[in-house]
């Protein structure tokens, strides 16, 4: 099915209208430690003119490969949830933005995980969870009422990460995004076009305008919910295509996060064994 190529399809944050109490709580969280100075122009471009936190003065060389507090956007389900579990197992502090109380309760049952109720479409909410983090992993994707979080939510993270001292970002998109458009059949691309266009916009925002950010973009293939095969790979081959288990995507994303060799690179995550392809079908990336 075409939807198998869209990753991660159900890791959606923040479309429901929040109550006044939740809005107030989100505002208090966002303003902790920083003085917000967000404004929006006609092109929906957000900027920050407030005071930088101590975190905002950290440099990549001081933290490289030593991420101790990591923000996960899209962590309530699917690939994002698997990532949360793997990071927590590394004994690092994980903070996730979730939109439902039940998701908060479930994730906070994992040692080292803290959740904040909020909306990824709201810049102030994203700022609230990014503040003080060393790194950010985003698996945001999905649609509600005709608005996709693939671009809007990721834009909120990308535009504010560097300001708040987040020195590493992993953006999880999908095969078919950016220059991998021709890796999937035209009919599949047409079916998923609205999602892939927005994922491409998020990639381009990160690549073209936030050049000081230490990022890696991971494009998974068709997602399958099943135990890890342990045979999935990351490859820089933009024409690579195929399926992969969500648990394997999560492991590869965490590997990429801690890799010093994938700075400012775009990699595809697939499992050649699921297509009975030879192990040499795609050259694995140097991680």
| CA dist., res. 264 & res. 258, Å (int) | 13
For residue 159, how far is the Cα from the chain centroid? 13
Res 281: pLDDT: 81
Q: Which tokens is 157 given?
A: 């993270």
Using DSSP, how many helices (H) and how many strands (E) does the chain show?
9, 14
CA atoms of 37 and 70, how far apart (whole Å): 24
* Tokens at 115, concatenated: 């959740």
pLDDT at 274: 92
Q: What angle do CA 66, 263, 259 make, to 5 degrees?
A: 45
**247 to each of 77, 85, 86, 252, how far by Cα in Å?**
12, 10, 10, 9
Question: Is residue 257 within 8 Å of 137, Cβ to Cβ?
Answer: yes
Per-residue pLDDT tens digits for 266-285: 999 999 999 876 667 889 99
What residues contact residue 209 under an 8 Å CB cut-off, 6+ apart? none
Indicate the helix (H) or strand (E) that contains 153: helix 149-161
Asked which of 13-17, 72-76, 123-127 is least confident by mean pLDDT, the reply is 13-17
CA–CA distance, 55 with 170 (Å, rounded to integer): 19
Peptide bond into 8 cis (omega under 30): yes
Q: Per residue in 160-186, is it b (16+ CB within 10 Å) or e — as a string? A: bbbbbbbbbbbbbbbbbbbebbebbee
pTM greater than 0.75: yes
Answer whether 98's CB lies under 8 Å from 12's CB.
no
Of the pLDDT bands very low, low, confident and very high (cuts 50, 70, 90), residue 2 is: low
More confident residue, 79 or 277: 79
- pLDDT at residue 278 in the model: 67
The predicted model gives 159-173 an average pLDDT of 93
Q: What is the pLDDT of residue 150?
A: 96
Q: What is the pLDDT of residue 50?
A: 37
Contacts of 193 (CB under 8 A, 6+ apart): none
What does the block give as tokens for 78? 């699917």
The residue-averaged pLDDT of 19-34 equals 39
Q: What is the pLDDT of residues 96-125, one digit of tens each?
A: 999 999 999 999 999 999 999 999 999 999
260: Cα separation from own chain's centroid: 18
Closest by Cα among 243, 237, 154, 242 to 203: 154
Tokens of 251: 């492991």
What is the mean pLDDT of the segment spanning 136-159? 91
Higher-confidence residue: 126 or 47? 126
Q: What is the rounded average pLDDT for all residues in the chain?
A: 82
| DSSP string of 59-82, one letter each residue | -HHHHTT---EEEEETTTSHHHHH
What confidence tier does 149 reach under pLDDT thresholds 50, 70, 90?
very high
Sign of the dihedral defined by the CA atoms of residues 168, 3, 44, 118, in that order:
negative
Is the pLDDT score of 205 beyond 90?
yes
């Amino acid at each position: 099915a075409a939807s198998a190529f869209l990753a991660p399809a159900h890791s959606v944050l923040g479309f429901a209208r929040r109550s006044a109490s939740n809005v107030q709580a989100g505002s208090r969280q966002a303003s902790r430690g920083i003085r917000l100075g967000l404004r929006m122009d006609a092109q929906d471009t957000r900027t920050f003119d407030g005071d930088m936190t101590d975190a905002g003065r950290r440099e990549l060389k001081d933290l490289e490969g030593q991420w101790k507090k990591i923000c996960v956007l899209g962590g309530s389900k699917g690939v994002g949830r698997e990532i949360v579990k793997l990071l927590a197992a590394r004994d690092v502090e994980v903070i996730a933005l979730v939109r439902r109380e039940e998701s908060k309760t479930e994730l906070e049952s994992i040692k080292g995980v803290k959740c904040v109720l909020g909306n990824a479409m709201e810049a102030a909410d994203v700022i609230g969870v990014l503040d003080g983090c060393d790194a950010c992993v985003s698996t945001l994707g999905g649609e509600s009422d005709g608005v996709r979080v693939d671009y809007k939510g990721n834009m909120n993270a990308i535009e504010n990460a560097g300001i708040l001292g987040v020195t590493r970002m992993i953006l999880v998109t999908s095969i078919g995004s950016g220059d991998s458009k021709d890796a999937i059949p035209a009919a599949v691309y047409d079916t998923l076009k609205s999602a892939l266009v927005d994922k491409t916009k998020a990639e381009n925002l990160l690549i073209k305008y936030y050049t000081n950010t230490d990022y890696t973009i991971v494009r998974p293939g068709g997602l399958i919910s099943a135990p890890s095969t342990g045979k999935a790979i990351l490859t820089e081959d933009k024409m690579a295509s195929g399926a992969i288990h969500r648990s394997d995507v999560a492991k590869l994303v965490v590997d990429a996060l801690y890799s010093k060799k994938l700075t400012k690179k775009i990699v595809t995550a697939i499992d050649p064994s699921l297509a009975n392809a030879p192990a040499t079908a795609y050259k694995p990336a140097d991680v």
